[in-house]
Homo-oligomer: A and B are copies of this chain.
Amino acid sequence: MKGTVCYIPQARQIEFHEYEVPDVEPGAILAQVTRTNVCGSEVHMWRGEFGKRGVMPGHEMVGRVSKLGKGVTTDTAGQPLKEGDRITPVYYRTCGLCVNCREGNAAACVTMGIRARRLVPQDPPHFHTTFATHYYIHPPHHVYKVPDHLPEHAASSANCALSQVFFGLDRATLRYEETLLVQGAGGLGLHAMAVAKARGARVIAIDGVDLRLKRAKAFGADELIDMRAYPTMEARMGRVRELTDGLGPDVVLEVAGIPDAFLEAINLVRNGGRVIEIGNISMGLTVAVPPAAITFKSISVTGVATYNPHYLHKALHFLSQHIDQYPYHEMVDAEFPLAQAAAAMDKSDRKEITRAALLP
């Protein structure tokens, strides 16, 4: 049986490569991809922001077990696993041995980046990423069964967006009754709002699009700041101070994904507060920062590139418990067959749609 996997050789081009579906080594799992999302990373890839070399897109996914390698009888949480079961995998591998892994910060595994750079479809087992019909999961893996009552549109963003903001809020130790300001009400931002509310924090959301502000409200935001009503950074700083006894929020989460938002996060957060930087992932884009602002405000800024693998399990559990509370079905607002991946990325880039799903 043959399968298909995508490759972006350069900005705004996509190739479809076909390979025989591989056998699985002991401990590995082959999944059939049933849904994979166009995450912000794929849009950055589509724009060519990851450099001149080609890249393989796709990592947010849900699928079904197609083949189980010898010795695999359960998912990583110990639940029995068999062919046909719905699963979602952690999309990267951590070493368990580096300075970060061994101190409980596997999200910063120093070998992760090294491995990630080399992927091309020609190298076996070919199905390295999830813009594809199949996905090869190497041992030792982190794979979890998707609870039966969880729809695919909700589960599909668990292994990236939700797990990452869940982990990010823990890294910044967002506590009960603290105020979180979320810059950007896209997928990451909405997930973060739901998680923050569940742990008893107050949420302020900033965005400039009606639909996104409406969703922020639906996902629990206590206060909305419309960028059209507060068009300058100074105006937004003033409004945020009004809403926070003149201090600023305890924690700011940057998921707008533009460099200016990083500077604004530093200016918005209260003295002694914490900024979580997740949205900016294009190395070539910069913003002029006065380091003295960090000094004088005694703030901390923490970058979060991925998440500790077991957060995927927490994420699925969170969705299980809150699936009826929030409109998760609105998070994905367009569906495409895999063959139209280019259109899906193009429309995402032009913000005609918020989050697209590919159904291979």
A284 within 8 Å of B by Cβ?
yes
Query: Assuming A99-B270, A247-B110, A292-B280, is B301 touching A300 (CB within 8 A)?
Result: yes
The residues of B that contact A151 with a CB separation of less than 8 Å are none
Q: Cα distance A256–B310 when bound, in Å?
A: 35
A104-119 contacts to B (CB < 8 Å): 104-108, 110, 113
A143 to chain B, nearest CB (A): 12
A42 to chain B, nearest CB (A): 16
Mask, A89-111, CB within 8 Å of B = 1, is 00000001101101111111010
Are B272's CB and A317's CB within 8 A? no
A307-355 contacts to B (CB < 8 Å): 308-310, 314, 317-318
Are B107's CB and A259's CB within 8 A? no
Count the A residues whose beta carbon is within 8 Å of the partner chain — how many? 67
User: For the complex, would chain A's binding face be called helix, strand, loop or mixed by DSSP majority?
Assistant: loop
A1 within 8 Å of B by Cβ?
no
Q: Cα distance A27–B302 when bound, in Å?
A: 37
A289-312 contacts to B (CB < 8 Å): 289-306, 308-310
Are B295's CB and A305's CB within 8 A? yes
Closest to A294 in B: B303
Are B99's CB and A96's CB within 8 A? no
A181 to chain B, nearest CB (A): 15
Pick the contact of A290 from B254, B286, B290 — CB < 8 Å? B286
Are A278's CB and B298's CB within 8 A? no
A277 within 8 Å of B by Cβ?
yes
A288 within 8 Å of B by Cβ?
yes
A240-283 contacts to B (CB < 8 Å): 247, 250, 254, 259, 262, 270-272, 277-283
Query: A-B pairs with the 8 shortest C-beta distances?
Result: A104-B104, A108-B272, A108-B298, A280-B291, A294-B303, A262-B291, A100-B272, A286-B288
